[in-house]
Chain A
Amino acid sequence: MSYAVKNSHQASRELIAFRIGDQEFCVNIMSVREIRGWTPATPLPHAPPYVMGVINLRGAVLPIIDLSARLGMKDAEPTARHVIIVAQVRSRVVGLLVEAVSDILTITEDNIQPVPEVSSDLEKQYARGILSIDKRMICMIELDALFLHKESEAA
C-alpha cells in the first residue's frame, strides 16, 4: 500500500494520492485532516460550477469542491463510492470530492519531475510537479495555489 522512494540524504515527505477519472494526483499529507465518505451537499446559490455546496462536518460548515471540475476536467457525478478529502487550505477547511484515495507515498525532492511544457495556464497554476512511481504518473497539486482566488473574494 505504501511506496517509499527514498534518497537517504534528503528530507522526505508524505503525500496522499487519489484518483479522478483515469488520472492520479496527490497532495501533501500535512494538509489533509481526514477522509470521509460522500454525503449530499446543500447547494449554494450562484456558486461556481465546481462548488457543489456545503455539508455539516461535526458542527462546522464545510464547502465541497468538485476537484475534477476545478481542475478543468468534467463535472463529477458523485455516488456513495466517492470520497471527500477534508483539507486545510490556508485558514480554511474545505472538502475535495475525488473518486478514490489510492496510496500514501513517501518521496524526496529529487523524485519530483518538472511539469511538462504542454500544460495550460490552469495546470501551471496548481501543478507542483510530476511523480513517476511504478509506471504511474502522479501529479502533485499545490492546494494553496489552487484556491488562491478564494482569498480575494472575501468581502
Chain B
Amino acid sequence: MDMNEIKEIFFQECEEQLAELESGLLKLNDGDRDPETVNAVFRAVHSIKGGAGAFGLDDLVAFAHVFETTLDCVRSNRLEPTQDVLKVMLKSADVLADLTNAARDGGYVDETRSRALVKELEALANGEAPAPAAKTPEPATAAATPAPAPTDDSGFQPIPFSFDSFDDGEAVDDSRAYEISFRPRRELYTKGNEAALLLRDLSRIGEMSINCDADGLPALDKMDPEEAYFGWTIQLKTEKSEDDIRTVFEFAEWDCDLEIREAADAAPEEEVPMIPVPFDLSALDETDTAAETTSSANAAVEAVAAAETASSVSKMAAAAARVEKKEASATAASAAAAQNAAAAAAAGQTIRVDLDRVDRLINLVGELVINQAMLSQSVIENDTTGTSSINMGLEELQQLTREIQDSVMAIRAQPVKPVFQRMSRIVREVADMVGKSIRLVTEGENTEVDKTVIDKLAEPLTHMIRNAVDHGIETPEKREAAGKDPEGTIKLTAKHRSGRIVIELVDDGAGINRERVRQKAIDNDLIAADANLTDEEIDNLIFAPGFSTADKISDISGRGVGMDVVKRSIQALGGRISISSRPGHGSTFTMSLPLTLAVLDGMVVTVAGQTLVVPLTAIVETLQPEASSIHSFGANQRLISIRDSFCPLVDVGRILNFRATQANPVEGVALLVESEGGGQRALMVDAIQGQRQVVIKSLEANYTHVPGIAAATILGDGRVALILDVDAVVAASRGQSLKPEISLAATG
C-alpha cells in the first residue's frame, strides 16, 4: 500500500469523522451532556489533526489544532457548551470540512472566514482558563545543565529528538571519558524498561566497562524479585555528548538515579566498593541472556540478574515459539484495509468490502433469478406429467433464490443518516444567507436504503431544502406578524412503508400560493385557462417541466424551476414524489422510493398483444368492468363507476401506441391504480397473467428513457417485457400528453 492509498483512506476517514463531529455537536445543541458525546466530538477533530499532520496538510492541522484546543476546554468542563458556543463550534465544523475538502481536491477556502473563526475559538478557549500550549511540541531545546533535560516539566522526552537543537551542544570532536552511575528504582521495571537493554544501548555509543554494585542485594530468602537492588557504574568512552548519553536513558530517567560526570582522567576507580562483574553484553544478543559470572558471590547476582532480565528471556522464548498468526491476504483495495477487516471480523462487527464486488454479486444474483424463472417455465411447458419431485425441487429453488436475493440486497443497504446530516449544514448556510432563522429536525435517520439510492438522493433533497428555506419559509418578521414562531422548522423524516422507503420533507412556512401557480401554469400553456383542477392537482403543477414561480433568479435555488428536475431524479430512482400544501401552514413533499433498485413485485398483464409488468405497489384492486358501469364523458373520456364514485378509464394500449383504436373495457380487465398527486385511475388491460417478482433491467443503459415505461425485465420465456410507468401513463391520460418528450426521439 503506498502513500497515495493511505492518503485516500485518510480522507475517507475524515468524512466519517466530520459526520461524527456534526452529529455530536447537534446532540450537544439539543442539550445532551453525556461526557462520551463531548469526548467523541473531541476525538473526531483530534483524529483529523493527527492524520493531517502526517501528510503535512498544514492549514488543516493549524485550524484543527485551535478547534481541538477549544473542544478540550469543553471536555475538561472549563467551557460551558452554551447555544452561542455551539454556534461557533458548528461553524468551525463546517470550515473544518471545507479545509478537508480543499486539502483533498486542491481547492481554496475562504480565509477571512476561517481566520475569524480561529479568533472566536481562541477567545472561547482563553476566556475561561489558561489553555495548554497551543503550539505543537518541538524537540528539546538547549539544556546545558546535567539535570535530566526534558523539553517540558515531565519525565518524558518527545521523539523527534534532534541533536542539532542543542546550541550549547558539547560538540566533541574526539572521545571523552564519562563516568555514569545508574541505579534503577523498581518502577523502572514495572514500566517495561530493562536495565540490561539500557546498558546495551549505552554500549552502542561508545566503549564501556561496567562495574556492578551488588551491595544492596539481600539474602535470597529475603529477596523480592521485583525490587531493584543493583547499581552500575559505567566508564564510557564516546564521542557523543552528555545529552546524547541522557537520551539513552530518556525513557527511564524518572525511575532511576542517574549521574553523568565527565571523568577528568580515565581512571575507573571510584570510592564505592564494587564487585567487578564482567557483564557480557554480547550475551544479550542471543536468546540466552544469563549474565556470566566468575565468583560464587555472583551466583545470587546472576539469579537476580536473570530474574530481572527474565522478561526479555520469556519474550524471546515466546518469540521463538510463536506461530505466525493469520495474516490478511492483500486485496486489490489494500492490505491494511483487509487486515483491519480481519480484526474487525473477529470482533464480529463490520467489514469493508469493495463496492465493485458487491455490484458484481448483485448482478449475478439477478441473473440467477432470471435463470431460475426460465427454468421453471421450461419445466412447466415441457413436463406434462407434473412430476412432483421436480416441482418441489423447483419450488425450493425459487425460495432459496429469493432468500439469496434478499440477503444480497441487504448488503448494500445503508442508513440515510449521512444524507440527512448534509442537509442540516445546508439549512444552516442557506438560512444564514437569506437572513432567516430555521432549524432542521430529522427522524428515522437509521432507515436503510440501497446505497445507490442514497448517493442519488442528495441532489434532489438539497434542491428541495434550498427551495424550502428560500421560498417556503417566511422571514422572521412575516412569521411573527402571522403569529408564528419566528424560527421556522423543516422536518425531514424517513421510514419504511409497504416495501418502500418514504421520505417526507415538511416545512411550516407559507405553503403554496395556488393562485400564482395556477396563473403561471396558464401562462406557460400547461393548462387551459378554464381548466378545473383540485387543490392537489394545482400543487403538483410545480413539477411540470418549465414551470417556475420565482420572479427573480435567486442565487440560492437557481430559477426555482428545479422541481421538475427533482421529480425526474426521483423517478429515475424508481420513485414517486408529490406535494400537499396548506396555505399559511406549510407544505409537505412526500417521496416514495424502492428499497432496492433491482427488483420489483409486479403484475404481468397483456395489452394489445404485448406483455407488460405493472408495479404491484401502484395497484389498489382489479376490476372486471360491466357494460352498465361504463359511462362516456365529453369527447374522448370514459369513466367507470366504482362503489358510488366515478373513476376515469385509461386506455393503456392506446397511450403506448400499441393499437390505433380504442379498446373495449368490457372485454378486458381494469386495474385500479393510485398515482402520486393524481388520484385514482382505472387502467385497461387485456388480461392478467399473474404476479411475479421481476429483476429490473435498465432501458437507459443501451437506449434512452422511454416515456410511459419505467424499465424492462426479462420474463421466464427469455423475452423482454416492459415495466409500466404508472404515473406517466396517468399523466398522459389527463391530456398532458406523452408526446412532447417523444418528439425528440422521433427526430433524426
Q: Which residues of A contact B (CB under 8 A)?
A: 40-48, 51, 53-56, 59-63, 92-94, 148-150, 152-155
- A46 & B698 in contact (Cβ 8 Å cutoff): no
- A45 & B706 in contact (Cβ 8 Å cutoff): yes
- B701 & A61 in contact (Cβ 8 Å cutoff): yes
Q: In the A-B complex, list the 10 residue pairs whose CB atoms are closest, starting with the nearest.
A: A149-B748, A45-B656, A155-B705, A42-B720, A63-B703, A46-B742, A153-B704, A92-B702, A61-B697, A61-B712
B residues near A43, Cβ cutoff 8 Å: 610, 658
A59 contact from B702, B709, B714, B747, Cβ within 8 A: B714
A155-B700 contact in complex given A43-B610, A46-B742, A56-B718, C-beta closer than 8 Å: yes
A residues near B721, Cβ cutoff 8 Å: 42
Q: How far is the CB of A71 from chain B (nearest CB, A)?
A: 13
Q: How far is the CB of B648 from chain A (nearest CB, A)?
A: 20
B residues near A47, Cβ cutoff 8 Å: 706, 745
Whole-angstrom distance between the alpha carbons of A59 and B366 in the complex?
A: 9
**Residues B709-748 near A (CB distance < 8 A):** 709, 712, 714, 718-722, 738-739, 742, 744-748
- A60 & B706 in contact (Cβ 8 Å cutoff): no
B residues near A41, Cβ cutoff 8 Å: 720
For residue B231, CB closer than 8 A to chain A, the reply is no
Q: How far is the CB of B673 from chain A (nearest CB, A)?
A: 18
For residue B708, CB closer than 8 A to chain A, the reply is yes
Q: Which of B610, B611, B704 counts the most A-chain CB atoms under 10 A from its CB?
A: B704
A-B contact pairs, 6 of them (CB 8 A): A46-B706, A46-B742, A61-B701, A61-B702, A149-B747, A152-B744
Q: Which residues of B contact A (CB under 8 A)?
A: 366-367, 370, 568, 572, 610-611, 655-658, 697-709, 712, 714, 718-722, 738-739, 742, 744-748
Q: How far is the CB of A29 from chain B (nearest CB, A)?
A: 20
- A150 & B704 in contact (Cβ 8 Å cutoff): yes
- B745 & A46 in contact (Cβ 8 Å cutoff): yes
Whole-angstrom distance between the alpha carbons of A117 and B722 in the complex?
A: 44
A61-B720 contact in complex given A43-B658, A54-B712, A155-B572, C-beta closer than 8 Å: yes
The chain B residue sitting closest to A146, CB to CB, is: B748
Q: How far is the CB of B377 from chain A (nearest CB, A)?
A: 13
A153-B744 contact in complex given A45-B709, A54-B699, A93-B702, C-beta closer than 8 Å: yes
Q: How far is the CB of B726 from chain A (nearest CB, A)?
A: 14
Whole-angstrom distance between the alpha carbons of A46 and B728 in the complex?
A: 14
Whole-angstrom distance between the alpha carbons of A119 and B738 in the complex?
A: 35
A46-B699 contact in complex given A56-B719, A153-B744, A155-B572, C-beta closer than 8 Å: no
Q: How far is the CB of B368 from chain A (nearest CB, A)?
A: 10
A48 contact from B367, B698, B746, Cβ within 8 A: B746
B residues near A60, Cβ cutoff 8 Å: 697, 701-702
Q: How far is the CB of A18 from chain B (nearest CB, A)?
A: 20
Whole-angstrom distance between the alpha carbons of A42 and B698 in the complex?
A: 14
A residues near B367, Cβ cutoff 8 Å: 59
Whole-angstrom distance between the alpha carbons of A12 and B709 in the complex?
A: 44
B residues near A150, Cβ cutoff 8 Å: 703-704, 748
Whole-angstrom distance between the alpha carbons of A45 and B729 in the complex?
A: 12
Q: How far is the CB of A122 from chain B (nearest CB, A)?
A: 10
- A155 & B568 in contact (Cβ 8 Å cutoff): yes
A residues near B739, Cβ cutoff 8 Å: 46
The chain A residue sitting closest to B363, CB to CB, is: A59
B residues near A61, Cβ cutoff 8 Å: 697-699, 701-703, 712, 714, 720
A residues near B720, Cβ cutoff 8 Å: 41-42, 53-56, 61
A residues near B744, Cβ cutoff 8 Å: 152-153
A residues near B747, Cβ cutoff 8 Å: 149
Q: How far is the CB of B44 from chain A (nearest CB, A)?
A: 40
Whole-angstrom distance between the alpha carbons of A39 and B745 in the complex?
A: 24
Whole-angstrom distance between the alpha carbons of A54 and B568 in the complex?
A: 23
- A94 & B705 in contact (Cβ 8 Å cutoff): no
- A48 & B708 in contact (Cβ 8 Å cutoff): no
Whole-angstrom distance between the alpha carbons of A54 and B698 in the complex?
A: 11
The chain B residue sitting closest to A44, CB to CB, is: B706
Whole-angstrom distance between the alpha carbons of A41 and B611 in the complex?
A: 12
Whole-angstrom distance between the alpha carbons of A55 and B703 in the complex?
A: 12
- A45 & B657 in contact (Cβ 8 Å cutoff): yes
A residues near B657, Cβ cutoff 8 Å: 45-46
B residues near A46, Cβ cutoff 8 Å: 656-657, 706-708, 738-739, 742, 745-746
The chain B residue sitting closest to A50, CB to CB, is: B748
Given A42-B722, A63-B702, 17 further pairs, Cβ under 8 A: A42-B611, A43-B658, A44-B709, A45-B738, A46-B738, A46-B746, A48-B745, A54-B720, A56-B718, A56-B719, A59-B367, A60-B701, A61-B698, A148-B748, A152-B744, A153-B705, A155-B700
The chain B residue sitting closest to A43, CB to CB, is: B610
B residues near A42, Cβ cutoff 8 Å: 610-611, 712, 719-722
The chain B residue sitting closest to A155, CB to CB, is: B705
Whole-angstrom distance between the alpha carbons of A61 and B367 in the complex?
A: 13
Whole-angstrom distance between the alpha carbons of A51 and B709 in the complex?
A: 15
A residues near B700, Cβ cutoff 8 Å: 154-155
The chain B residue sitting closest to A122, CB to CB, is: B748
B residues near A51, Cβ cutoff 8 Å: 703
Q: Which of B370, B655, B703, B742 counts the most A-chain CB atoms under 10 A from its CB?
A: B703
A residues near B742, Cβ cutoff 8 Å: 46
Whole-angstrom distance between the alpha carbons of A40 and B717 in the complex?
A: 12
A residues near B708, Cβ cutoff 8 Å: 45-46
Whole-angstrom distance between the alpha carbons of A42 and B706 in the complex?
A: 13
A153-B702 contact in complex given A43-B610, A45-B656, C-beta closer than 8 Å: no
